[in-house]
Amino acid sequence: MSAVGRVHSAGARTTLDRPSAAARPALQQQQHQRRRSRRGAPAPRAGPASANGAPAVAPASQKPLVGLPGDTYAKIQDCVRYVRAHSSLVPEIVIVLGSGLGAIADEIDAPVALPYADIPHFHAPGVAGHPGRLVLGLMRGVPALVLQGRFHFYEGHPMDEVILPIRMAKYLGCTSALITNAAGGLNPAYSPGDLMLLEDHVNLIGANPLRGPNPPELGGPRFLDLSEPYDPEYRALIQEAAAEVGLPPLRQGVYVGVSGPTYETRAEVRLFRSMGADAVGMSTVPEVIAARHLGVRVAAVSCVTNLACGLVEGKVSHDDVMEQGAAAAGKMQRLLVAAVPKIAAAAKQSAAAKAHAK
């Protein structure tokens, strides 16, 4: 072994401890290369002991990925098996109900209701206004799956579990999604109780549900185009439904999704308005992204429960959100009941056209 850099037991260094001037550049280059190698190489993973007793490093092909692709698919299949054990109905549309809107599930005929707490990998919502039930049945003759409430990212759930109900819905048979939420109004022209059709969104949640492995079983693209997340045909059909049930034309605007659970500051409200956003909420965006990734056509409606701080005096509270959501539930209910058959018919027509084109 070279004496260069060796520390003697007595603690003193000899002249042999110092490399010569001629050798220094070569040694410095070697040290630099070793440092680069250490930075670039993955940390060894402890494995079975080798012959000399040291932990063996598993070959790269045997190292597990963070979040195995199979885990996501397995969770979906667990959910599907559980639901199918309780109902043979194949739903065509999934309806997600936001804060205070759970009563819309009462429109389901021959319902089969399953508490979220009983469904594998689901969570019981910890927020008032979210009953936490999956309801299968018929809405005006259309096989439908209603999600009474959601579990949110701000409750601490992993993003892949936040979107699990939507992914499960696809594997149960849903090709369309109608998503609702309670939102704060950013547009000063809006009033509490207004309904807004989402025509686009801004994702400020701080996470993307497609981050991580892209399981091949899901069949979705690695890089998803979101130039038109909300289906224009479905939006037009919902406006038709509004007219049929005597509602004024729905607002149409941009929804900004934030993580919550805090309501917005005045500065944030000014920022969101400068970005062109009309409403703000703590959900919906992950579900929309997950649905579009699986080829599910999406429409979404916000119930404006309050105007954001700075637009009106006073503070925002969840009790106010609940109260306004309940007050608007009647017209949201009439709207959805009228819209679901239209959306189902359009989906069937589109599927038939695609099949004929093949």
Q: Does residue 290 sit within a domain? A: yes
Q: Does residue 58 sit within a domain? A: no
d(CA 34, CA 146): 58
Catalytic residue chosen out of the listed positions 139, 283, 287, 290:
283
Catalytic residue chosen out of the listed positions 87, 181, 302, 306:
306
263 is catalytic: no
Q: Does residue 336 sit within a domain? A: yes
Catalytic residue chosen out of the listed positions 87, 92, 99, 329:
99
Catalytic residue chosen out of the listed positions 121, 155, 199, 346:
155
Catalytic residue chosen out of the listed positions 139, 168, 177, 182:
182
Question: Is a pLDDT exceeding 80 seen at residue 214?
Answer: yes
Catalytic residue chosen out of the listed positions 107, 123, 130, 255:
130
H or E segment and range at residue 154: none
Q: Does residue 245 sit within a domain? A: yes
3-state class of 196 per DSSP? strand
152 is catalytic: yes
Phi, psi of 293 (to 5 degrees): -60, -30
283 is catalytic: yes
Judge whether 98 and 190 are in contact, CB under 8 Å. Answer: no
The CATH code of the domain that includes 105 is 3.40.50.1580
154 is catalytic: yes
Catalytic residue chosen out of the listed positions 73, 154, 199, 326:
154
pLDDT tens-digit series, residues 44-86: 333 334 343 333 333 333 333 333 445 888 999 999 999 999 9
318 is catalytic: yes
Question: Is a pLDDT exceeding 50 seen at residue 7?
Answer: no
Number of domains the chain is built from: 1
Q: Does residue 327 sit within a domain? A: yes
Q: Does residue 342 sit within a domain? A: yes
1 is catalytic: no
pLDDT tens-digit series, residues 229-259: 999 999 999 999 999 999 999 999 999 999 9
Q: Does residue 32 sit within a domain? A: no
Domain span at 259: 69-357
For residue 217, give Cα distances in angstroms to 74, 76, 77, 214, 221. Answer: 10, 11, 11, 9, 11
d(CA 196, CA 183): 9
Q: Does residue 250 sit within a domain? A: yes
99 is catalytic: yes
Find the range with the poorest average confidence among 7-11, 145-149, 257-261, 276-280.
7-11
| CA 219 from centre of chain | 17
182 is catalytic: yes
d(CA 316, CA 261): 12
